[in-house]
Structure 1
Amino acid sequence: MKKSLRNSLVAVAASSSILLASCTPPGVEDPQKQAQDQAGSGQTVSGALGKATPAVSPASANPAGEVVKLEGRLAKASDIEMAGDVLAVRAGDQLALGTVDKFRTNSATTLEINANCGDITATGDTFVLPCPVPIEGGAGGGVIYLIDAKNPGLKDTRRADMKFTSAVLTTSGEVVGGSSEEPDVIVFRGTDSSDSKKITTSRKADEMVASPVSGSRDGVVFIERDKTVIQGVDYTNNRAGGALRMGVGVGSIAAGDDGLFLASDALGHQLGIYTDDDILMLHQTIPTDKSPWALAWDTQRKLAWISSNETNKIQAFKISSGVPELQGTVDTVANVRSMTIDSDGTIYAISDSGDGLQIIPAKDAAAAVEKPAQP
């Protein structure tokens, strides 16, 4: 995301009085108030508060593009990321890496991992895999594996006394890790695991992502689903960043360009738009189809894509103006749990119910958003 888009988001937030301070706001621990506020404004809100999990989709009728069948344990994949032209697809205790053609021919490189490892992230040509215990077995606390996309292996590690289930690699080389089982995060500043610092956040990190910011530190945020909170990490100053409540049931997050972050409210049926470049700010919330979950930022077209488990569609939203605009929709496989978009605009979505890897070519995605869609 270029500076102009980020600046326009700031201007929109200020003019519409939805800009939130980066300090922890009153009631951040109390999603009940959020539910009451949303109900009062006519929004549809599920009965549960916090602790969001993906809804189960109906059968998919006609997914767009190409669907690649994944074999064996990969059939129920739950996570997908991309580093360069290499995809990483994770299913339970297996991680597969390769180009799209490798997945088409069932010849991707596979690594045996621990089923309790967390979601993968990617920075540059490196995948990041956080695990609560060493994959190779034994004691020694949690391990974050840095995996070279072109030459995958499990030798480059960061280790600490934390059960890692979320982690990111910043563009300046720091590794930040957290856990869904215990609060706080740890930042590693070099290749030696002893060069690390625990940062007190008092929150568990269910999912973590990072976004580079021109002229500043990367934005790093994580979510705690139980409390439906999004939390920033000021890792350069060894302190927690801002914390904001995200709707009534934050589901997932994704990073965009230049400090942009997207968050799905799975229970409140909305998309949240945030930035974190020294200050964590909420800019917009946008009603979506019911039961949203997976997200991806489209750098090519400057759009936020979000999946719906109720409709088996992904919606594309333009967010650069004062009023978020639905630009188009695309039919998906059932139970989309994770998405990624390459630099050309091709969309990759993964199903955790055996429907496979969906590939929506850039031209098809572009055609879907040529004319603003009707809500």
Structure 2
Amino acid sequence: MKSVGNKIQYFIDANLHADLHSLLLKKSPFPEVSMQELVQQIKGRKVAEKKFPFLNQENIIFPPNLNLEQASSQDTADFKKQFFKGKKFIDLTCGFGIDAYFLSQNFEEITLIEQNTELLDIVKHNWEVLDRKANFINQKLEDFLKNNKEHFDLIYLDPARRDNHNRKVFLLEDLSPNIIEIQEQLSDISPEILIKLSPLIDIQHLVYSLKNIYKIWIIAVKNEVKEVLVYLKKTENQPEISCINLQSSEPEFHFNLDDKKHCQSEFSAPKKYIYIPNNSVLKSGAFNLVSEKFGLRKLHQNTHIYTSEEKIEHFPGRIFETEEINSKAIKKGEQFNIITKNFPLKPEEIKKKHKIKDGGNHYLIAVKSLSGNHFLVGKLLD
């Protein structure tokens, strides 16, 4: 779909809330555009409404579903741009161009590399609609690097996470391109390199495998880890790790690898306040550091929940005021939001066993401490 005429745009706008399965059974009213293409544009607008609202407008063209799924959200892309500026920016794996659109806002010259011709044509069209300029190069990353003579202030890349059989891969050496193999090449043409990686990447493996890691961001949105960002820049210091939970009021959590090397947790049965770190903090693996930094006791070596008698402020996660109850005191038909951590029963099993319902304003927290299993009833604090 190379362009969006007025009549086609009107059809897309008019069918944004139509049943797409029914639409697919109908004949396209436009000889030059199939109904499948029209439905794809309607799907794209629906995705854009939530994921990248700046593209939820007329004349924007959307790629196939896989490209939409793999693209960064507007929230995470906008977060990245605050840290980088300079003259020349290059995105070596442009994709649908969401990250490039935001990251490049603080640069004068923009170069976008993409090997998929149709996808690059879509990005080029959309950037014209958005009144943004760039050098668009339809080429494989490897071929570009082989022939390139330019230097850039920042390189950005988001390696493909699927193999030749379309299976997801997570190790650095299995990504395309293989970052481990090309990191020296990248360093030769830019002093700063930013790499987006899967939320499932192993942080320790990452630190061991890559040179010159300056910083790692673990980015969650509403407590779901979306991506791990690695910033390469020559440094003598240990990498700093920042845990971010966007669309929440929780504070960021920062540390470097030296901070957590010699930390130890102290343990306790549950006290008045319970603290559950957000998932970006849990992904970092800094379990003992959380205990030491905030002066909290951990419940169990494998229960990454913390407790205190007095409330502490500015915790990067949820804080509950709780009291322990005997499981026999849980009344049939009561309503709870159920949380389990290192507990023999899953939430569904607890619901079934005690004949309780999901929801309401109170929480039932089932946890294991060194002294045994506990049921805690509490409220979430602001």
Q: TM-score, normalised by structure 1?
A: 0.27
More helix by share: 2
Structure having the higher Rg: 2
More strand by share: 1
